Amino acid sequence: MIRLEDVDKVVVEPNGLRRDLFRSLNFSLSPAHSSVAILGRSGSGKSTLLKILAGLDTRYQGKYFFEGEPLLKNGATMARYRRENIGIVTQSYHLLSDRNVVQNVLLGFSGKKSIARAKECLALVQLEKFEKKSITQLSGGEAQRVAIARALVKNPRVILADEPTGALDEETENHILSVFSRLESEGHTLIVTTHNERVAGWCQSRLMLSDKKLVPQE
Amino acid sequence: MGIIFDMRKNFPLIVAKSLVFSLFFLAFYNFLSFSQETDAAINQSFSSDSEVNLYTLTDTLVEADEFSEFRESKNELDKLGSFYNALNDGGQFTFLSIFDQPLPVKDFRGDETYDYGYGTEMSVQGKYFDEDFGAQAQNVKSIQMNKNAFEFYKIRTEGGQEIPWKEIDYSGSEVPILLGSNYANLYRVGDVIQGNFYFKTLNLRVAGFLEPGSSIFYKNEINHYLDSYILIPYPDTLRGITDEEQFFQGILSFAMINGDLVARKDLSSAQLIEDLQAISRDTGFYDYTLIDVPTYLVQMSLTKSIIEDNYTLLLSIILAMGIGVICVTFFINRGILVRRWEGGLVYWLLGRSREEIMREFLWYSTIEYALAFLIFWLAFVALPNKNEFILMNSLFFMLMFLGAIYCTKDMCWVNI
Amino acid sequence: MTLRQSGAIVFLLLLFSFLLSALHVYGVRQEAITREGNKLYTAESIEVRGSFTDISARLDNVQDLKIYTNLSEDGDIRNIFMRDSSRVNFPLHSGRSFIEGESQKALVGAEVVTTYDGGIEYYIFQEKRYEVIGHLGRETKSLLEKNVILNDPALFGSGADEPYILDGSGVHNAFVSVYGSENVALRDGGTNKRTNVDLVSPLLKGFGLLLVVLGCISTGLLVGRYSAGQNGVQHLQGATHRAVFLRRAGEVTLLVAAVAFVIVSAWSVLFQVTFPVGVVLSGFCVQLCTVLTAFGFSFVKNVTGA
């Protein structure tokens, strides 16, 4: 479904030095995969890889294929691709504080908005009664679930989650994982970057970012 | 939808930015308005053709007996009339015949501010019963001048009406007159006012109103404004004296030869006197004296420099304000865009392209500038110095200025 | 607050202090130009007839009342009475204006004939010597070059009605309310009447002041935003919100004071312009209050999370 071929990525460190982040990195996600964990040390490039997969970062060498077709690495093409196929959940949620919960979820629609669908997704993440709540009143786990609901409203093929339980306690983490399980069962594919062994263990397959490449891990 | 959320979130900053812009453009509009008036004032009263030497011509028949004897002689009065006609024909000089006096007006519609004594050390007489009219009258400020003076001081009427100088005839049924701008609410064009001009009742027909602030150099004062005056035109030529009108024409002729001679700066006073003597030889009138009036040029150049200094001062303050506006809006823009960035980032994550986000942000900016324009317009409507020409100029400047910011700065910021 | 953020705040404070001071300088120069073009009178001056002693006593609500009497037919030589000499703003190219309590002094234009005695310049009027303390006109060559202003109470008539020119804020209304409109006439403009400067200038000053206020509000809000992080840290480390606010407000006060000092010094050194202490203090207070109010608003908003 998604394939990255020979990706080279160079980053500039805060001290001005250039560093190779990825060299001839390959990644392949087949429809058979329901969830993939990407593991790695801090600074190994997990978030950057997720940005590349989301089409948020196009400044790299290499090819990006979606369902066998190469994608043009320009902003407009990648934005359309992301809009149509990808749902994103970030570590810092990226919710708009001036809107309430349901209004944030509605942002996830690219075309016609459906409040019924937004409510359905909120129900899926067990936030049925939170629709009118202000974002500033939510806990970390609730905010993360709103972000997941927002990613879900357009029914994307793939959901990318960057450290989805990074700042959450064990109980909330369990809650999030149960939501992920439901998504998996509904046919969504999850790509999760994490350094949390429990989350990684939950995923169907695991890849380790090591020595600028992705290495399968048992 | 996004616009409503943006307005709600950034309302104080948007209002501040719009206020700053509209205030600056209002200031700029006013500066343009002042600038146009400065140009007009300089072109009207201080242009290079006004830079001339001025001499005052007065008769020397100061003794009452001498004066009345002269006026009783038709022959002498004819000489005086010829002298006036020759002066008006000009040589190397231009004769500006100007004289002011109280004009008793029957059933005058104005108040005491038009009274001859108002604003002077003389007392205000107000309305009184006039025996000649058999009605109530008031002595109002009045000034007479010939065509040369009218043209030299570039006096204009509000409606562009012209005086038929060739047809001025005090023995006719009506005499066209112009009223100062303060009269605009008292009389209308075409109204006939009855006035006692040198003991002769004249029907004075209102031919037009002077532009506000019309002024002449008179009695050593360059800022002699005519807003409260009735302007009676002098005829171009004095015709022969008739028996019935000898008294009236005698006084009038003397009043008319009292005036100023305007000569190029390179014409010496000796040459001017020679010219006058030649006219005297031709007409037989010698009873006058010529006084140099250097005050005119001095006052003219210093008054002009005051107007120009004012312009420079206003220009510098508007420039300082312009710099202030640019700096304030830089920080306000920064504040707004930092706050918008939060939303822009979410839109981007959710699959909107940069171009789409940029378009949306430009709509938001359009609201800011539209609000600025609206505030400007509402304030403009309340301004007393409304002028469409200046408005068009300032709108053009506004569009250029805002367009430059709109197309460069905002877009750069949005270019995430 | 980073160095760059501090730099931005200092820059904004400098800019708006400069604009405020420039507006004051503009006002003073504008008044000088107006007075020079209008025989030293303002647009509020009126011509009246009355008794000097009565007028000066009864128009006590006009704080800056000035009464002029003509001592020559052409109006070039005049005598003046001032209720408050600190409010006399004559255009002078050298010397000084009248100060409280002094008399027998004169201000003269450059073309006026004067005499010197012991290095002191005198103007002689009706065989009486008046010490010349200042020279009228923004420059030597001016519309006031033949003018003389004497400050001699003895030259005002006794109680008889005479023509006077009165000047001062709201003097026309004050005179009419006491004496009626019988013996009063508005003066018919000076050079300013040739343009709409009397209308435009106050508008420009008003817009300029509003701009300064808006600028100071923006600066105060920026201080609040830039210092929010540091304020939060100090509060976490045990300082009360009140203490944090007062510390920051103190810093802002010092900064505004330093900026005011720099601006006043710069005007003095670069343009030889000095400001009266009262003007500096009121400018400083206006700026400080506006900045602190906006900062306080931002501070409270950050603390309450509203």
Query: Cβ–Cβ of B324/C215 closer than 8 Å?
Result: yes
Cα–Cα distance measured from residue A82 to residue A73, given in angstroms and rounded to the nearest whole number = 12
pLDDT exceeds 50 at position B55: yes
Cα–Cα distance measured from residue C174 to residue C178, given in angstroms and rounded to the nearest whole number = 6
What ipTM was assigned to the predicted interfaces of this complex?
0.83
pLDDT exceeds 50 at position C298: yes
Contact A208, A217 (CB under 8 A): yes
pLDDT exceeds 50 at position C4: yes
Q: Token pair 């420009």 is at which residue? A: C204
Q: Which segments within B228-270 are labelled E, that is strand?
A: 230-233, 259-263
Query: Cβ–Cβ of A90/B347 closer than 8 Å?
Result: no
CA distance B213 to chain C (A): 6
Chains near B, with 3+ CB pairs < 8 A?
A, C
Query: Cβ–Cβ of B349/A90 closer than 8 Å?
Result: yes
- Greater pLDDT, B361 or B230: B230
pLDDT exceeds 70 at position C162: yes
Query: Cβ–Cβ of B5/A54 closer than 8 Å?
Result: no
Quick one: pLDDT band at residue B413, thresholds 50, 70, 90? very low
Residue B410: its pLDDT value, please? 52
Give the residue from B346, B355, B357 with the most A CB atoms within 10 Å of its CB, the best one to mutate. Answer: B346
pTM: 0.79
pLDDT exceeds 80 at position B399: no
pLDDT exceeds 90 at position B181: yes
Residue C289: its pLDDT value, please? 96
Residue C125: its pLDDT value, please? 93
pLDDT exceeds 80 at position A109: yes
Is beta strand A2-12 parallel, antiparallel or unpaired with respect to A61-66? antiparallel
Tens-digit pLDDT profile for residues A94-108: 898 888 999 999 988
Which residues of chain C make contact with B116, given a CB cutoff of 8 A? none
Tens-digit pLDDT profile for residues B239-264: 777 777 788 888 888 888 889 999 99
CA distance B345 to chain A (A): 8
Residue B414: its pLDDT value, please? 42
Across residues C275-303, what is the average pLDDT?
A: 92
Q: Which of A167-171, B159-163, B374-378 has the lowest mean pLDDT?
A: A167-171
In this structure, which topology does domain A32-60+86-217 adopt according to CATH?
Rossmann fold (3.40.50)
Tens-digit pLDDT profile for residues A189-201: 999 998 888 889 9
What single string gives the DSSP state of each residue in chain C?
A: --HHHHHHHHHHHHHHHHHHHHHHHHHHHHHHHHHHTTTT--TT-EEEEEEHHHHHHH-TT-TT-EEEEESSTTS-EEEEEES-GGG----EEEE----TT--SEEEE-TTS--EEETTEEEEEETTEEEEEEEEESSSSSSTTTT-EEEE-GGGS-SSSEEEEEEESTTHHHHHHHHH-STTEEE----GGGGTTHHHHHHHHHHHHHHHHHHHHHHHHHHHHHHHHHHHHHHHHTT--HHHHHHHHHHHHHHHHHHHHHHHHHHHHHHH-----HHHHHHHHHHHHHHHHHHHHHHHHHHHHT-
pLDDT exceeds 90 at position C151: yes
Residue B124: its pLDDT value, please? 82
pLDDT exceeds 80 at position B397: no
Residue A161: its pLDDT value, please? 92
Of B8, B9, B351, Cβ closest to residue A79: B351
Query: How many other CB atoms are found less than 10 A from the CB of residue C182?
Result: 13
- Greater pLDDT, B122 or B282: B282
Size of interface A-B (CB pairs under 8 A): 50
Which residues of chain B make contact with A108, given a CB cutoff of 8 A? 350
Q: Which of A31-40, B146-155, B209-218, C189-198 has the lowest mean pLDDT?
A: C189-198
Across residues C259-272, what is the average pLDDT?
A: 92
Which residues of chain C make contact with B17, given a CB cutoff of 8 A? none
Query: Cβ–Cβ of C211/B118 closer than 8 Å?
Result: no
Of C27, C70, C14, which Cα lies nearest the Cα of C209?
C27
Across residues B118-131, what is the average pLDDT?
A: 84
Average pLDDT, chain B: 86
Quick one: pLDDT band at residue A75, thresholds 50, 70, 90? confident
- Greater pLDDT, A32 or C23: C23
Tens-digit pLDDT profile for residues B140-174: 999 999 999 999 999 999 988 888 888 888 888 89
pLDDT exceeds 70 at position C305: no
Which residues of chain C make contact with B331, given a CB cutoff of 8 A? 8, 12, 218, 222
Query: Cβ–Cβ of B119/C210 closer than 8 Å?
Result: no
Query: Cβ–Cβ of B356/A79 closer than 8 Å?
Result: yes
Residue B199: its pLDDT value, please? 85
pLDDT exceeds 90 at position C201: no
Give the residue from C28, C199, C203, C213 with the most B CB atoms within 10 Å of its CB, the best one to mutate. Answer: C203
Of B225, B299, B321, Cβ closest to residue C208: B321
Query: Cβ–Cβ of B228/C188 closer than 8 Å?
Result: yes
Average pLDDT, chain C: 90
Residue ranges per structural domain of chain A: 32-60+86-217
Which residues of chain B make contact with A56, given a CB cutoff of 8 A? 348-349
Q: Is B352 on the interface with A (CB under 8 A)?
A: yes
